């Protein structure tokens, strides 16, 4: 073998580590490019705005631990939205009565409640009439406003919006209200106006 071929062979042997390193680098680059790319944090699940069921002329009833009927909610249309777990009710009618015989009757164009109808929010021409038990002095108390909340378990009617309260010819208006049916105490907040007749002694 001539000296020229020996020189070519020696140069080829010397360049083998460089070629191997280049090939390894090229393979590594291909492997990185072929691997699945991180697309960032997981996307939030898409929440559907459509109800999962709709009922016509529907009713939700709630009973206490003894089986006594506490409240009934009727609606022309009831739609259930799974997220959040709520019922939206058209032309809602709420009826309730406690152990002492005190009654509640509430109506509104729209209502919102959970499936147990424990707390019902009334919107649009909301009217709640609290009727005292038989033999209790005083007539029914009427609450009117655009939005009223009724806790049928605790027997509390409340609102953070203007409310008109009327009973036995007395009319009082407040910017907010909380009425506890069990104690008969009503608290009006904000600017309070109206006419109240002091009972004669």
Domain membership flag for residue 48? no
**Whether residues 23 and 74 fall in one domain:** no
Q: How confident is the model at residue 89 (pLDDT cuts 50, 70, 90)?
A: very high
State the pTM of this model. Answer: 0.71
Q: Choose the weakest-confidence range: 35-39, 135-139, 179-183.
A: 35-39
Instruction: Tell me, yes or no, whether 15 and 79 share the same domain.
Output: no
Q: Check residues 91 and 139 and name the one with the higher pLDDT.
A: 91
Q: Do 57 and 104 reside in the same domain of the chain?
A: yes
Residues 6 and 60 in one domain: no
pLDDT at 51: 85
With a cut of 80, say whether residue 106 has pLDDT above it: yes
CATH number at residue 138: 2.60.450.10
Whether residue 68 sits in one domain with residue 138: yes
47 found inside a domain:
no
User: What are the pLDDT digits (tens) for 59-69?
Assistant: 988 888 888 88
Q: What's the token pair of residue 2?
A: 């001539």
Co-location of 84 and 180 in the same domain: yes
Which structural domain, as residue segments, surrounds residue 99? 53-195
Please give the tally of structural domains in the chain.
2
| 10 and 64 belong to one structural domain | no
Residue 200's pLDDT is 56
Residues 20 and 67 in one domain: no
- pLDDT tens-digit readout, 40-78: 554 544 445 788 889 999 998 888 888 888 889 999 999
With respect to residue 178, please indicate whether it lies within any of the assigned structural domains.
yes
């Amino acid at each position: 073998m001539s000296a020229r071929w020996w020189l070519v062979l020696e140069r080829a042997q010397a360049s083998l580590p460089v070629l191997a390193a280049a090939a390894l680098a090229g393979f590594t680059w291909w492997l990185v490019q072929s691997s699945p790319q991180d697309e960032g944090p997981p996307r939030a699940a898409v929440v559907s705005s459509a109800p999962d069921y709709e009922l016509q002329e529907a009713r939700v009833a709630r009973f206490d631990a003894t089986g006594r009927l506490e409240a009934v909610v009727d609606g022309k249309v009831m739609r259930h939205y799974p997220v959040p777990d709520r019922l939206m009710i058209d032309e809602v009618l709420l009826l309730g009565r406690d152990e002492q015989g005190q009654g509640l009757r509430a109506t509104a164009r729209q209502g919102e409640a959970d499936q147990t109808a424990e707390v019902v929010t009334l919107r649009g021409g909301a009217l709640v009439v609290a009727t005292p038990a038989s033999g209790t002095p005083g007539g029914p108390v009427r609450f009117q406003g655009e939005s009223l909340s009724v806790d049928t378990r605790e027997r509390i009617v409340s609102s953070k919006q203007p409310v008109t309260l009327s009973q036995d010819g007395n009319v009082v208006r407040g910017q907010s209200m909380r009425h506890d049916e069990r104690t008969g105490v009503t608290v009006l907040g904000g600017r309070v106006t109206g006419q109240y007749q002091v009972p004669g002694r």
